[in-house]
Amino acid sequence: MSVTSSHDAAPDLSLERVAFARIFEGRVVARGTADRLDYRRAGGRVTAADGSAFMEPTKGYTSYGTLHFTAPAADGEISGRSGVATGGVHLDTAHGDAAATERVEYEGAAGFVRSATPVDARGPGYRVHGNGLLARADGSAIQLVRGVRGLLEMEARR
């Protein structure tokens, strides 16, 4: 027995092995892929499976260099500039920082990135663990919340 969606639940557009790019002021600022992407015109809903994206920050996160995000599942609303990535979200930066959590929410209109699940982060000279994350989408503030522990690795004195 197979499960099929009703006509109302079927996406208006469904693509497999899709690649995308975002151009801002004449240059590519984001590019990515997804194994599957579904779009529903009503509400501007997008659902992606096994997605990966590279972003070139235009402000805020520029000191991290290129940002690389991966997530097994993502669901978003284009008009509301909001979305949720789940299933093990990973971020790696060109600067050497990395973070992992189970779920991340993006609220573009409010300018926030949040996670209520444990977050592990590491980078040059540090390793930290928090029970959540609250960040400004422009990179001006990143906070691990609800209990944080970590390790700062100081360079040996010369």
* CA–CA separation, 114 and 20 (whole Å): 25
Partners of 133 in beta bridges: 115, 144
All domains of the chain, ordered by start, with CATH? Answer: 13-152 (2.60.450.10)
The reported pTM is 0.77
Contact 129, 146 (CB under 8 A): no
* CA–CA separation, 4 and 33 (whole Å): 25
| Token pair listed for 41 | 């015109």
Could you read off the pLDDT of 65-108 as tens digits, one per residue? 788 889 999 998 888 888 899 999 998 888 888 899 999 998 87
